[in-house]
Structure 1
Amino acid sequence: MPSIYDFTATSLTGEAVPLKRYEGQVLLIVNTASACGFTPQYRGLEALQRAYAPKGFAVLGFPCNQFGAQEPGTADEIGAFCSSKYDVTFPLFAKIDVNGADAHPLYRFLKGEKTGLLGSAIKWNFTKFLVDRTGHVVSRHAPTTTPEALRKEIEALL
């Protein structure tokens, strides 16, 4: 049975990152944007990262410009924004598509594992997928679900 560990993604700095690197960790995979009404969720995502990383948890951020062109920046601009505005320490990856013919294979997998309000399509920025320690998608959460609201679910998986 496939898991997220079967995929590779490019980091914001251009490094090919096999997701197998995160094997054994609980993950929250999020499509992000720097100019979105939900952008302040970076603060909550970083709080989760800092609280639970020592217990084997990581947030993985995937910038996406498919929704209202709310992530127009370059990799350097995205990194600088996340660092200076929200002190983000969790891994950020290169900008990707999450819907359509050019959707990243990881996102095709995630959407196939857990559908949402619009079927498999991602509705907007900051859709969240929670993945257990074995690499399987446990749940999918709408952009309106705050990171803080996921604490109990994350703690149960840790």
Structure 2
Amino acid sequence: MTCAYDFSLPGLSGDTIDLSAYRGRPLLIVNTASKCGFTPQYEDLQHLWSRYGRDYPEGLMIIGVPSNDFGQQEPGSSEDIKNFCHRNYGVSFPMTARQHVRGPETTPLFRWLDKQGGFLARPRWNFYKYLTDRDGNLANWFTPLAKPASNRVEEAVRKVLLDH
């Protein structure tokens, strides 16, 4: 059976983000964009990362996946994206290079998320959020309207962190 840990993505800094390195940690995978009305959610994502992941070896891993698929709202280079996220929001969680999250060129990870979550979970805009459990299975997903610091999202994060 395939799980989230079976995928890797090119990193924003030219490295490879191999999700198997995070085996046993819940993942929050978010398709992001720098020029979107939801872009301020980077601040909440950084807050979640600081609170539940960054300093905890078994804590939450957040993976930002920039995409230019919706309204051409992520037009910059990897360097532009990295500088924007760090300068404006202090982003320190891993970010991938720009990926397609819908359409014929969809990255395999998002094809898998689509299959796991079903039609309604397919990203229809930036800042869809996909939460996996410690086994790498999709546990929950959220539309852009669910802010990362909302009670609904934080409760889901706490639940997967407590499940061993």
Question: TM-score normalised to the size of structure 2?
Answer: 0.92
- Equivalent residue letter for 1:109: W
Q: Which residue number corresponds to residue 152 of structure 1?
A: 155
Shift of 1:61: 0.2
Q: Which residue number corresponds to residue 90 of structure 2?
A: 87
Q: Distance in 2 between matches of 1:38 and 1:105?
A: 24
Q: Does 1:103 align with 2:106?
A: yes
**What is the correspondence of 1:19-98 to structure 2 with a 5 Å cutoff?**
19-53=19-53, 54=56, 56-98=59-101
- RMSD of aligned residue pairs (Cα, Å): 1.1
Unmatched runs of 5 consecutive residues or more in structure 2: none
Q: Which residue number corresponds to residue 135 of structure 1?
A: 136
Q: Distance in 2 between matches of 1:95 and 1:88?
A: 16
Shift of 1:17: 2.3
Shift of 1:16: 2.0
Deviations 1:70-115 (A, max 9, x none): 0000000000000000000100000000011100000000111002
Question: TM-score normalised to the size of structure 1?
Answer: 0.95
SS at match of 2:47: helix
Shift of 1:116: 5.0
- The total of aligned residue pairs comes to 156
Runs of 4+ in 1 over 4 A off after TM superposition: none
Deviations 1:3-55 (A, max 9, x none): 01111111001112221011111111000000000000000000000000125
